[in-house]
Amino acid sequence: MSGTITDDPPPACGGSPLIVTEDAALLDDLLRLCAAAGATPEVHHGVPDQGDTWAAAPLVLVGDDAAHRLLGAARRRQVVLIGRDQDDPDVWRRGMEIGADHVLILPEGEQWLVDRIADVAEGVGRPALTVGVIGGRGGAGASTLACALAVTAAREGLRTLLVDADPLGGGLDVLLGGEGAEGLRWPAFAASRGRVGGGALEESLPALHSLRVLSWDRGDCVAVPPQAVRAVLAAARRRGGAVVVDLPRRLDEGVCEVLAQLDLALLVVPAELRAVAAAGRIAAAVGMAVRDLRVAVRGPYAPGLDDREVARLLGLPLAGEVPVEPGLLRPRGGGRPPGASGRGPLARFCTGFWEQALVESGGAR
């Protein structure tokens, strides 16, 4: 159980939380929760003598027993008052008196507190700009475009993760020429519950072409539980930068968890009437979960169609025309991924996409 007095975002830089309490049992609990979150706290019985310690700590955990010791302390944000008796009405008053952002009762609020401490330990800032790519029909080139977008983001200096959400697609690591690269694949995360550490996730994945890749292996596992998908993608987003997700055209519970965390999605549609008709059904389903769905049109164009007409027929904003290149239609040989050269129309499309998307989202991440 927790109560919010004010709600501020987690701090943007990592650090050690500060614990203020004289309650030995509560201290044991808080140390246990810090350990679970991967943080090593600094412990004091009252306001630290060094003023910088009080002001600089990214998060302060105050035991209810020590609240009276903080009455004269300088007000600051990111203070949590922690008690044990949810039937004590005075705990809320004490929280107000010390300017706490939250009042938390243990043990009910343990998971919330672990998440908040882990945010501090990881140095959570702005979440990654998360983009999904889905084909309007089979063979539309969505996987290759997803790879090209990820490679371009990494080349532009963004921390980038490419996520393969299609277990039947053959593996994006293959498309990137890294099927033998060391690192974990989706089946390794099937048992994930709760919070996954963003840094640990990043370090565990194959590194290919200056980005990290979460793909499928060639085993029999073709699904992971929705809660595992949610936990893994949330961890990826906390690292900042860019996350690109290659989406399947069939929507199951796991895919819906991905859609819920997307900032925008690109629907890749070949400019032909049957593809537009098929894409309409995909757009109707995806549009229910994604607040910003745009169409990327691929030529060659059927008579009477152009990119604007395709967007009009689908009732979606136009992201642009995806250039026709051999690499967009089939994997390139030699392990060189689409868009890797930084030259050509596909690379220019991807560069222009990121420039616009980053501006719309508020700048570089």
Mean pLDDT of 180-198: 88
Q: Which tens digits make up the pLDDT trace of 62-115?
A: 999 999 999 988 889 899 999 998 889 899 999 999 999 999 999 999 988 988
CA 310 to chain CA centroid, nearest Å: 31
Over the chain, what is the mean pLDDT?
A: 88
What residue ranges do the domains of the chain occupy?
Answer: 18-122, 129-362
The reported pLDDT for the residue numbered 142 is: 94
pLDDT at residue 80, as a whole number:
96
Q: What is the largest CA-CA distance in the chain?
A: 78
pLDDT for the residue 330: 47
Domain topology for 18-122: Rossmann fold (3.40.50)
Alpha helices in 176-218, H assignment, sequence order: 198-204
The string of pLDDT tens digits covering residues 332-361 is 444 577 777 778 889 999 999 999 999 998
CATH class as words, domain 129-362 = alpha beta
Do the two domains 18-122 and 129-362 of this chain adopt the same fold? yes
Mean pLDDT score, 136-143: 92
**What digits encode the pLDDT tens for the residues 30-59?**
999 999 888 899 999 888 876 678 888 999
pLDDT band per the 50, 70, 90 thresholds, residue 266 = very high
Residue with tokens 């343990």: 110
C-alpha 194/C-alpha 111 separation (Å) is 8
- What is the C-alpha end-to-end distance of the chain, expressed in Å? 33
Quick check: 3 pLDDT over 50? no
